[in-house]
């Protein structure tokens, strides 16, 4: 696949991936995490596009509610929400949904439509998910299309894993 690319060119192409991996590795040593949610989407008309997030502070000692929010997107989305600083024992879970797209109905995202959610931790993409016509088996039907990001989305409670 890469045989026609000069070795230096391939190395330069992979350099941003290595830099991103280094930044993710830095999370293992961090104790404070600046968290932001970036939502992007196009051609969302009629899909019921939404993003929700909830957070819990001090999950080990005395859990208390942290920042939470709910946003809807009628046609498109291109917004970053700064949630603030979190510690090792704080949780943030963000979910994107397409309320009008169900697994047993004719309403599905049209080609070219998507809703994407990136969780940024200390300026690095920590987790990302996209709902689109090609989402396939990743989609959870509850009864509408939904998918989550964050350290609790896969049962893991660590920011640094």
- State the CATH number of the domain containing residue 105: 2.60.60
* Within-domain flag for 7: no
Please compute the mean of the pLDDT values over residues 154-158 and round it to a whole number.
Answer: 51
Nearest Cα to 69, choosing from 87, 85, 57, 51?
51
Q: What angle (nearest 5°) sits at the alpha carbon of residue 35, between those of residues 29 and 39?
A: 135
The domain of 94 spans 31-149
In a domain, 84, yes or no: yes
Sign of CA dihedral 140, 144, 150, 151: negative
Residue 11: the pLDDT is 36
Q: What is the pLDDT of residues 124-142, one digit of tens each?
A: 998 999 998 877 656 777 7
> Is 121 a member of any domain?
yes
The percentage of residues in the chain with a pLDDT greater than 70, rounded to a whole number, is 73
pTM for this predicted structure: 0.77
In a domain, 14, yes or no: no
Q: Is residue 4 part of a domain?
A: no
Query: Is there a domain that residue 23 lies in?
Result: no
CB 95 within 8 A of CB 146: yes
Q: Tell me how many domains the chain contains.
A: 1
Q: What tens digit of pLDDT does each residue of 64-105 get? A: 999 999 999 999 999 999 999 998 889 999 999 999 988 776
Look at residue 13 and tell me if it is in a domain. Answer: no
> Is residue 133 a part of any domain in this protein?
yes
Q: What is the pLDDT of residue 24?
A: 55
């Amino acid at each position: 696949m890469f045989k026609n690319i000069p070795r230096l060119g391939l190395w330069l192409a992979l350099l941003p991936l290595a830099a991103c991996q280094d930044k993710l590795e830095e999370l293992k040593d961090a104790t404070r995490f600046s968290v932001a949610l970036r939502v992007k989407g196009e051609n969302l008309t009629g899909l019921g596009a939404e993003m929700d997030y909830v957070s819990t502070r001090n999950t080990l000692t005395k859990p208390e509610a942290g920042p939470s929010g709910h946003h809807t997107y009628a046609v498109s989305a291109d917004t970053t929400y700064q949630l603030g600083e979190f510690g090792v024992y704080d949780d943030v879970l963000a979910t994107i949904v397409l309320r009008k797209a169900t697994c047993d109905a004719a309403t599905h995202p049209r080609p070219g439509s998507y809703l994407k959610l990136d969780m940024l931790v200390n300026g690095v993409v920590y987790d990302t998910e996209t709902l689109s016509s090609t989402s396939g088996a990743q989609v959870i039907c509850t009864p509408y299309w939904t998918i989550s990001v964050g350290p609790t989305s896969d049962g893991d409670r660590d920011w640094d894993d």
